Amino acid sequence: MAYATATYVALALAAASAGAQYVNTQNTARRQDQQAAQGILNQGRIQQEADAKVNASITDLEGSNSADERSKRLDDYMQTLRTNRAGIEGGADPGYGSAAFQADSAQAGKDATQYSEGMAGLMARMDAPTMQRQGEAFGYGNLATEIGLIGRESAGQRFIDDLRLNSIRRSAGVDLAAGLMGAASSGMLSGPNAYASVGKAGATGAGIGGVTTTNTGSAFRNYG
């Protein structure tokens, strides 16, 4: 009865050891899967940021035209003309001579101003496409810089996620407990069996006075 009880206890320890190792393996795999999924989510968030930058740049490019640049350049030219208008019109209006001469001089000043304004408009239209392409080129450069920064952010985040994933290990305490239970189970199972085998051999092979049955039979035959 004691042998059966010890066997049951040993089997229970073996089952507990196997169960602990299984749970430890499952928990480790679950935590690794969670970390791997978090790494994928982090990379997806960074990719969305990059996509948003690219989409915004494409939208700006689709709506790009030279109207804004032409208006800005025309404002620059007109500001220059307004600043120098006194000199332009004053030079054509000497303030002396006959009334007809003064009237012609004033008209000439106005004509010069209109001509300058017309040339300003023409030059603004000529400059606008170049300014447009320059603005687009600056936009490309800014986009490339932003994408480069996002790429470095992605690489850094991936490095951190890999460190976290690789740092996930099996619980040493659980493995130790499972190993101790397994060792105890093996010891209990091997001990009683060895004892039982020795006892069986002694019960079947021992004769009177410690002489084995085989030897006793041989002795009787010799004396017979």
Q: What is the pLDDT of residues 13-71, one digit of tens each?
A: 778 888 888 888 888 899 999 999 999 999 999 999 999 999 998 888 877 778 888 88
Q: What is the pLDDT of residues 172-187, one digit of tens each?
A: 788 777 777 777 777 7
pLDDT at 196: 44
User: Per-residue pLDDT for 95 more than 50?
Assistant: yes
- The average confidence (pLDDT) of the chain is 76
Using a 10 angstrom Cβ sphere, with 0-12 exposed, 13-18 middle and 19 or more buried, the burial of residue 8 is exposed
pLDDT at 191: 61
Q: Which of 84-88, 133-137, 172-176 has the lowest mean pLDDT?
A: 84-88
pTM above 0.75, yes or no: no
Give Cα 183 to chain centroid, integer Å.
44
Q: Supply φ then ψ for residue 211, to 5 degrees.
A: -90, 130
